[in-house]
Amino acid sequence: MADLFAETTVFKALDRTLHYLVPAEMGGQAAVGKRVIVPLGRSESLGLIVALQETPPLLHNGLVCRPIKAVVDAAPIVPAELLELCQWVSSYYFYPLVEVFKTALPSGIHNSPSIRFRITAAGREVAKSWEEAPDLLQLLVQRESVSLAQLKEIPLSPAKVREIMRRQESQGHIERCFDWGPSPLRPKVVKSLRLLDAEAAQAMGDNENLRALVNHLQQARGRAVPLRDLRKNIRNLTYWARKLAEQGVVAVDCGKELRQSDFAQEMVVSSPPFLTAEQSAIFEEVDPYLEERRFQPFLIHGVTGSGKTEIYMSLLERALSLGLGALVLVPEIALSTQVEALFRQRFGQQLAVWHSGLTSGARYDQWREILTGARKVILGVRSAVFMPVTNLGVIIVDEEHDGSYKQEDRLRYHARDVALMRAQMLGIPIVLGSATPSVQSYYHAEKRRYKGFCLERRILNRPLPQLQLVDMRRESADGRVLSAALQRALADTLKNGEQAMLFLNRRGFASFQLCHRCGHVLQCRHCSVSLTYHQKEGALRCHYCGWQCGVQQQCPVCGQMSMILHGYGTERIEEEVRRRLPEAVIVRIDRDTVSGPAAMAGCLNAIRSCRGNVLIGTQMIAKGHDFPNITLVGIVNADTALQIGDYRSGETTVQTLMQVAGRTGRGDKPGRVILQTYNPEHYTIKAVMHMQYGVFCRQELESRNALQYPPFTRLVKFMVTAQDEGRTQAAATQLAILARQTAQEFRLGSKPVAILGPTPAPLAKLKGRYRWQLFAKAWTNQDLQEFIGVVLAAAKRSKELRQVQLSVDRDPITTL
């Protein structure tokens, strides 16, 4: 039989694959997508086979392919289709394949196992005549396997132990085995007690705790009771459980428990409604593509409450009835809302949920269930786009415009774009939905690359909210935070027993501390951003790196006692409301008050069950939540994002404000929105006031066309960072020279590329590192792809650039 060679990504080595020989005895087990243990230098590493071939790879002179040491998986953990996707991601985003796997696979799966030793059958046979190191022998004979740490405890010098081990191993008396270590990969075991012999139990004495335990078990009438349930009521449980087990009076059952998401919201169960005519028209359009398995992107532009989610669910049911799996992506925040409960109610045990609030154990269990096909509908955030769904038939990306789909560090991928590629590779339909589609998707729908649908009305003709603008330039000093109109509306709402929501995209109490003499603003020591004042801690804090210091009286620049606090955040709003409306029961949601999904669920439940009546928050409350009793939304400062000099800041402002406005009037009562602004004439504010998102998109596209910004061009951002300022700038300058040379060559080949920069990033220093950036713009994807490749290769040869960190951000969503 011909030799077989495996091309393998190696988790310990970065950016390239290595080739190994598949030993004849492993030939049957080796397969693409399985993990293997391979030799790497003098140690070993875990790897994943990405290709198998019979022709030997070309190696440098004198090198030979070393053999794989072991095949780890019984079945591939990365199906062929997903492997192809990961390879595309790696090349499109210029990121090593191994790192893509680290994003795509649950953590723990790429950890190399720790090495253990065990005695072989041959070793046991000669054990009697084994005279050296009796302690070592005893350890090996007694234990199933022995770790390196345990070997260290043997009263011999480590060198001596190593020498003996090596010799015994070469003689085949001991062998290595692997411990996969961290618990996420081990199933969670639930221990339970089952009473076998009630009489014997009674006879064991009359200790109070023992009595209580036996009583509990008797009440279960032969069923097993989990230890964790008993623990609440019985003291010394571990002791008594062991005693009873030793006497054979109880049996100890060990069951595996599936760990899953449990932050679902309280929800009233109801049966699915019949689709309206508008909803079923969309369903009927998508359905043939599902059935025939054909690639086609769809875009549903539907105002909040227009019934998009119902359409998704009908499509999922259809996919299941065809024996297909489905993937639903949602923004992180949306999952802490009722969405999970809604899907669980509809899809029960078929549903897997994937978000950052899961423990790593729960993630692993969910992922396994998806891999084996036990769960067919996956509801998840960004990285769920990589889930190994069996027989994937349709992908849905809800709130497709949402910024959280873009990962902003390491692998800078956009989950919606990866989802589009996956759908195209598989030849299946993909449905993008949003109340405020990205300008880019809107453009594709206009150009008929996507099939676009519009849902302009809410279900049951619930009215859209009424908007009222408050020009803050006209407010008296007293109303600078909450205008008179907003204060009045709040009071009315509470009087009617309804709920209100106040939105402000900034947390903390004051935005910054400033010297009113010289204008100096206190900045973070490690980042080029101003410090935010937090009243509760009485401290100024950096929102980027967490550095904090006390409030200053004296200006560090001019020396005057002239420092004042300026601007306001959610903490301040909370105080204002408390002062003006004592009857308000406030729930505040921002990153200072809510630490994780569980806390978030708690806060949201407080609003849903009407234990609170004023919800104050940052963008954490802007999306997805469906609160029928909220009839007033106050947008405290609509201008927070406008000043940012980003080509997309208009788009994100309109999207956020319209999302927030959509939070009201979701129940039977009509809703009302009060929007406070200092820029009433700004085109984004006008678009929101008229709730005309389509009009805004067309305006925005016109100006982007004039400036040749995406979607009319493709952008890439190169970012150079280092701790030394001069070095960062020198490297950025060198990068710009390389880029301009390359662009010159490209132009000669009729592949125009424009270079912008280099400039210090708007956030010029972050966590102690200086940042410079350079943009390149091309008119086709292929040109840009090729261009980046050439520039990166040149950068590898540059001395200046080798001393700094260089990252590539393909299709950056901000120019900051």
The residues of the shown chain that bind Zn ion, judged by CB under 5 A, are 524, 526-527, 542, 544-545, 547
Of 522 and 604, which CB lies nearer to Zn ion in the complex structure?
A: 522
Q: What is the DSSP letter of 473?
A: G
The tokens 């949602």 sit on which residue?
A: 330
Pick what 545 binds: Zn ion, ligand ADP, none; C-beta below 5 to 8 Å, kind-dependent.
Zn ion
Burial class of 749 by CB neighbour count within 10 A (0 to 12, 13 to 18, 19+)? exposed
Shortest Cβ distance from residue 769 to ligand ADP (Å)?
41
Shortest Cβ distance from residue 547 to Zn ion (Å)?
5
Pick what 734 binds: ligand ADP, Zn ion, none; C-beta below 5 to 8 Å, kind-dependent.
none
Shortest Cβ distance from residue 38 to ligand ADP (Å)?
48
Pick what 620 binds: Zn ion, ligand ADP, none; C-beta below 5 to 8 Å, kind-dependent.
none
> Cα 243 vs. chain centroid, distance in angstroms?
46
Pick what 370 binds: ligand ADP, Zn ion, none; C-beta below 5 to 8 Å, kind-dependent.
none
CB 685 within 8 A of CB 675: yes
Shortest Cβ distance from residue 514 to Zn ion (Å)?
17
Of 542 and 620, which CB lies nearer to Zn ion in the complex structure?
A: 542
Strand order in the sheet with 325-329: 351-354, 377-380, 325-329, 392-398, 429-434, 296-302, 451-455
Q: What are phi and psi of 610, to 5 degrees?
A: 65, 25
What is the secondary structure of 426-440 as a DSSP string? HT-EEEEEESS--HH
CB 522 within 8 A of CB 512: yes
Of 40 and 275, which CB lies nearer to ligand ADP in the complex structure?
A: 275
Pick what 607 binds: Zn ion, ligand ADP, none; C-beta below 5 to 8 Å, kind-dependent.
none
Pick what 542 binds: ligand ADP, Zn ion, none; C-beta below 5 to 8 Å, kind-dependent.
Zn ion
Pick what 123 binds: Zn ion, ligand ADP, none; C-beta below 5 to 8 Å, kind-dependent.
none
Of 304 and 436, which CB lies nearer to ligand ADP in the complex structure?
A: 304
User: Element (H or E) spanning 250, and its range?
Assistant: strand 250-257
Q: What is the DSSP letter of 406?
A: B
**Strands (E) located in 344-498:** 351-354, 377-380, 392-398, 429-434, 451-455, 466-471
Of 342 and 524, which CB lies nearer to Zn ion in the complex structure?
A: 524
Shortest Cβ distance from residue 700 to ligand ADP (Å)?
23
Pick what 521 binds: Zn ion, ligand ADP, none; C-beta below 5 to 8 Å, kind-dependent.
none
Name the nearest CA neighbour of 8 among 55, 45, 61, 41. 45
Beta bridge partners of 439: none
Shortest Cβ distance from residue 805 to Zn ion (Å)?
18
Q: What are phi and psi of 366, to 5 degrees?
A: -60, -45
Pick what 307 binds: ligand ADP, Zn ion, none; C-beta below 5 to 8 Å, kind-dependent.
ligand ADP
Shortest Cβ distance from residue 593 to Zn ion (Å)?
21
Pick what 527 binds: ligand ADP, Zn ion, none; C-beta below 5 to 8 Å, kind-dependent.
Zn ion
Of 49 and 524, which CB lies nearer to Zn ion in the complex structure?
A: 524
Of 35 and 507, which CB lies nearer to Zn ion in the complex structure?
A: 507
Shortest Cβ distance from residue 324 to ligand ADP (Å)?
22
Contact residues for 550 (Cβ-Cβ < 8 A; gap 6+):
538, 539, 540
Of 118 and 526, which CB lies nearer to Zn ion in the complex structure?
A: 526
What is the secondary structure of 41-61 as a DSSP string? TTEEEEEEEEEEESSPPP--T
Shortest Cβ distance from residue 622 to ligand ADP (Å)?
13
Name the nearest CA neighbour of 431 among 400, 401, 390. 400
Name the nearest CA neighbour of 625 among 328, 343, 335. 335
Residue 267 Cα distances to 203, 342, 719, angstroms: 48, 8, 46
Pick what 279 binds: Zn ion, ligand ADP, none; C-beta below 5 to 8 Å, kind-dependent.
ligand ADP
Contact residues for 756 (Cβ-Cβ < 8 A; gap 6+):
774, 775, 776, 777
Pick what 275 binds: ligand ADP, Zn ion, none; C-beta below 5 to 8 Å, kind-dependent.
ligand ADP
Single-letter code of the amino acid located at 90: S
Of 545 and 764, which CB lies nearer to Zn ion in the complex structure?
A: 545
Shortest Cβ distance from residue 574 to Zn ion (Å)?
24
Shortest Cβ distance from residue 529 to Zn ion (Å)?
6
Pick what 168 binds: ligand ADP, Zn ion, none; C-beta below 5 to 8 Å, kind-dependent.
none
Pick what 310 binds: Zn ion, ligand ADP, none; C-beta below 5 to 8 Å, kind-dependent.
ligand ADP
User: Element (H or E) spanning 799, and its range?
Assistant: helix 799-802
CA-to-CA distance for 178 and 146, rounded, in angstroms? 10
Q: What is the DSSP letter of 8?
A: E
Residues that bind ligand ADP (CB under 6 A): 273-276, 279, 302, 304-310, 459
Shortest Cβ distance from residue 409 to ligand ADP (Å)?
30
Cis peptide before 711, with omega less than 30 degrees from 0?
yes
Shortest Cβ distance from residue 310 to ligand ADP (Å)?
4
Of 111 and 548, which CB lies nearer to Zn ion in the complex structure?
A: 548
Of 462 and 526, which CB lies nearer to Zn ion in the complex structure?
A: 526
CA-to-CA distance for 339 and 680, rounded, in angstroms? 35
Of 279 and 505, which CB lies nearer to ligand ADP in the complex structure?
A: 279
Shortest Cβ distance from residue 270 to ligand ADP (Å)?
8
Of 416 and 771, which CB lies nearer to Zn ion in the complex structure?
A: 771
Of 673 and 731, which CB lies nearer to ligand ADP in the complex structure?
A: 673
- Rounded to a whole number, what is the distance in angstroms from the first to the last CA of the chain? 58
CA-to-CA distance for 459 and 307, rounded, in angstroms? 6
CA-to-CA distance for 445 and 458, rounded, in angstroms? 22
Name the nearest CA neighbour of 312 among 282, 340, 292, 291. 282
Pick what 308 binds: Zn ion, ligand ADP, none; C-beta below 5 to 8 Å, kind-dependent.
ligand ADP
Shortest Cβ distance from residue 695 to ligand ADP (Å)?
20
Q: At what angle do helices 237-246 and 208-219 cross, to 10 degrees?
A: 70
Of 698 and 769, which CB lies nearer to Zn ion in the complex structure?
A: 769
Pick what 783 binds: ligand ADP, Zn ion, none; C-beta below 5 to 8 Å, kind-dependent.
none
Shortest Cβ distance from residue 152 to Zn ion (Å)?
42
Of 442 and 512, which CB lies nearer to ligand ADP in the complex structure?
A: 442
CB 195 within 8 A of CB 249: yes
CB 555 within 8 A of CB 516: no
Name the nearest CA neighbour of 125 among 85, 168, 157. 168
